Structure 1
């Protein structure tokens, strides 16, 4: 009898739960564990196949009666900087971005809590503790980085680590074909800066500098106001039944 562990991932299905995006719908997810020496390779393949990563879990929707969740990725080389995006970049010209290994900090968690309390009081992450946050950041077997965004302070550019106020954080995976934005959060009292948009634009520039063709934004849900911003970043592809397909916002949704 062969007792060796199979290198293929084992997939599991969750029980139905209320959908956090569409009222009256129930969600189910299929998931697998991202562990071991092939975790990075599997994360690449699964993300390209419509999965998302949370800690050491890769998951994707497997709802019985709904196909509203659609994986989205920006086409970096063709990305179009419209006037509104230029305005966001100009507004945040005083922001310094720094990339670090995936380690949590008290300062990050304080900003994370402010963000949740202001934007997601009823969400599934609303009661996360400092330990929960640390696990979210550190529990990864793939190439993960934390990007901190701070207001420029005197001495920045000379010291190894910027000292200005922390206003946004992105947890991102480095993949073979792009950057995947796992989770991001920002100062909720700085709405005029459009910090969420700023972070996406920064990832587009980083991916282009690295020669990577895509920025993965996770799921877009037609009809969900929370997800509506994702279709602003054009051109982009959506993962449909026939594979990754260039998105036309004027076309009706695939049933």
Structure 2
């Protein structure tokens, strides 16, 4: 990528794919020592890059093109019947924007979510430092949206503001409320917030057709897919 300065990208060694079994993955990432800014992130988000902590990356697998960056055109989104039911069911929740800093209440909810939803990942419990390093950075325009039932914290949506939209970084929620479909509701709420802010897009990360935990993103239409170095709509 060229801007006023040359930004170098590097590729990881092949590693076990997080999404598809029996495959190796390679990740392309921006030089960790290059000084990152929100404006650089704006440009890279439009080239299919994502943020994880301080790292800006995108998949670069030689023999597999299954991980595709997607973004939703929010003004053209029409919710499905099931999504309308989930929206209605959660209208008793209040949403507040808070700073992306450590709060023990947030961290405890995150640990409960990870323990319930990622039981087979064989990960040690995250430390507070690892938690913040995963979700935040010093240079991104990141906010935490709290979803509460009265005073009870049910969900946190970690969201980055980019030039032309919101980027859904990560959502974690109370696993004791499955009937509320809090993950779906968080996406629906972010769509409405992007509309309210006159943004064009909600960036939803990577869509992987054959991975159940990533394939759900086609439930939100119309999507644009970053394929062959450009955004395009596909028929689903």
Query: How far has the Cα of 1:34 moved from its partner?
Result: 8.4
Of 166, 174, 178 in structure 1, the residue corresponding to residue 153 of structure 2 is: 166
Give the 3-state SS of the residue equivalent to 2:82 in structure 1: helix
Question: Could you list the runs of 5+ residues in structure 1 that have no partner in the other structure?
Answer: 1-5, 154-163, 250-255
**Does the 8 Å contact 1:88/1:197 carry over to 2?**
yes
**Does the 8 Å contact 2:135/2:169 carry over to 1?**
no
Matching residue of 1:207: 194
Matching residue of 1:176: 163
1:55 to 2:53 alignment: yes
Deviation by residue 1:221-247 (Cα, 9 ceiling, x = unmatched):
011011121110011111111611113
Query: How far has the Cα of 1:104 moved from its partner?
Result: 2.0
Deviation by residue 1:14-42 (Cα, 9 ceiling, x = unmatched):
11111111111101101114864x61111
Q: Distance in 1 between matches of 2:40 and 2:106?
A: 28
Q: 1:242 to 1:56 in 2, by over 3 A?
A: closer
- After alignment, is 127-136 or 56-65 more displaced? 127-136
Question: Could you list the runs of 5+ residues in structure 2 that have no partner in the other structure?
Answer: none
RMSD over aligned Cα atoms:
1.7
Of 116, 131, 134 in structure 1, the residue corresponding to residue 132 of structure 2 is: 134
Q: Distance in 2 between matches of 1:20 and 1:136?
A: 16
TM-score, normalised via structure 2 length: 0.93
Count residues in correspondence.
232
Query: How far has the Cα of 1:137 moved from its partner?
Result: 3.7
Larger Rg over CA atoms: 1
**Does the 8 Å contact 2:54/2:133 carry over to 1?**
no
Q: What is the correspondence of 1:118-129 to structure 2 with a 5 Å cutoff?
A: 118-123=116-121, 127-129=125-127
Of 189, 192, 197 in structure 1, the residue corresponding to residue 184 of structure 2 is: 197
